[in-house]
A and B are shown apart, each in its own frame.
Chain A
Amino acid sequence: MAKIRGAIIIDRDRCKGCNLCVVACPLNLLALAEKEVNKKGYRFAQQTIENVCNGCASCAIVCPDGCITVYKKKEI
């Protein structure tokens, strides 16, 4: 069966670190940065587990600031 792979791009400087995407991700792939902040001083969201995302776009849909762009492709 063809596997569906996804990838996300997070606009770090637009992110306000509200943590809603982290909660929304069904695969728990996201987390707020531990020791880094963006130019506004927020701990931004980042993907901590690579190569597992299935591109469901839950994180992007709940993001209040529209920081997340989602791509999805079928693995052949």
Chain B
Amino acid sequence: MTDNEIIQPENLVYSKPKLLNDNPMHYCPGCSHGVVHKLVAEVIEEMGMEEKCVAISPVGCAVFAYNYIDVDWVEAAHGRAPALATAIKRLWPERLVFTYQGDGDLACIGTAETIHALNRGEHIAIIFINNAIYGMTGGQMAPTTLMGMKTATCPYGREADIHGYPLNITQIASTLEGTSYVTRQSVHSVAAIRKAKKAIRKAFENSLRGEGSSLVEIVSTCNAGWKMSPEKANQWMEENMFKSYPVGDLKDTTNLE
């Protein structure tokens, strides 16, 4: 059997989701953002919500997410995405409203908006990309940076005396009464990507059912900021990030599968 016989439309197993357009992504080679964009596009497509979805893009590397996924987007001021999502969801309750934020956006400047939106139990889904660094601006220390981790602004490693401790915002969110689904996933392997996709789907469905807010943290790599190859960055994440940010569901009061 030749490749030409196999390459027929009826034999298609996997292709780039249609919602993800052909614009070349500006992300560095091997960036986790690309995989998460793909998952989001796949989930929206599978749910048939292409025309009924409003997404909020953050400030950070994912600021241009609106260029890549063909749904309606609103660009929020730095950290204010959950506030915008609140307004949109309240005015348009039948829409799928989600935010897509990084750790500098969600866990630093937007902490207040994030915690209060989650605590009010707004029926929104938040996708939180945690790579423990400010990727876009050149790899500075973020609130989520691990102890001892070297960044541009803590070249000798993060120290508790000077820089304080890593902020585990997902754990905080799981203690709030307004949240109904809080989970932490990663996208470093095929199995992890499949699980992350299920988590995103669950969060989106939960937001449509209106049973409280959902937070999906994706522990990610920033190979350019960490100064590693994409492959090494994945290994480093498994060895170091998962100790502070263990993967799994932190809270699940939904009755969804």
List residues of chain A with CB under 8 Å of any chain B CB: 5-7, 9, 14, 16-20, 23-24, 40, 42, 50, 55, 57-58, 60-73, 75
Contact of A58 among B16, B24, B32, B190 (CB under 8 A): B190
Docked complex: B17-58 residues within 8 A CB-CB of A:
17, 20, 22, 24-25, 27-35, 38
Is A7 within 8 A of B3, CB to CB?
Answer: yes
Given contacts A5-B1, A73-B8, 17 further A-B contacts (CB under 8 A): A6-B13, A16-B28, A19-B229, A20-B234, A23-B231, A42-B29, A60-B14, A63-B35, A64-B25, A64-B27, A64-B29, A70-B14, A71-B8, A71-B11, A72-B6, A72-B13, A73-B6
Complex Cα gap A23–B11 (Å): 25
Is A14 within 8 A of B24, CB to CB?
Answer: yes
Chain B interface: which size bin? Answer: 35 or more
Complex Cα gap A68–B1 (Å): 21
Across-interface contacts of A57 in B (CB, < 8 A): 13-14
List residues of chain B with CB under 8 Å of any chain A CB: 1, 3, 5-8, 11-17, 20, 22, 24-25, 27-35, 38, 189-190, 193-194, 229-231, 234
**Interface hub of A7, A24, A63, A66 (most chain B Cβ within 10 A):** A66
For the complex formed, measure the closest distance between the CB of A18 and the CB atoms of chain B, giving whole angstroms: 3
Main SS of the interface on chain B? mixed
Complex Cα gap A67–B16 (Å): 7
For the complex formed, measure the closest distance between the CB of B44 and the CB atoms of chain A, giving whole angstroms: 15
Across-interface contacts of A61 in B (CB, < 8 A): 14, 190, 193-194
Is A65 within 8 A of B15, CB to CB?
Answer: no
Is A69 within 8 A of B231, CB to CB?
Answer: no
Is A64 within 8 A of B33, CB to CB?
Answer: yes
Contact of A7 among B7, B15, B230, B234 (CB under 8 A): B7
Across-interface contacts of B189 in A (CB, < 8 A): 24, 62
Is A64 within 8 A of B13, CB to CB?
Answer: no
Contact of B13 among A17, A18, A55, A63 (CB under 8 A): A55
Across-interface contacts of B194 in A (CB, < 8 A): 61
For the complex formed, measure the closest distance between the CB of B174 and the CB atoms of chain A, giving whole angstroms: 28
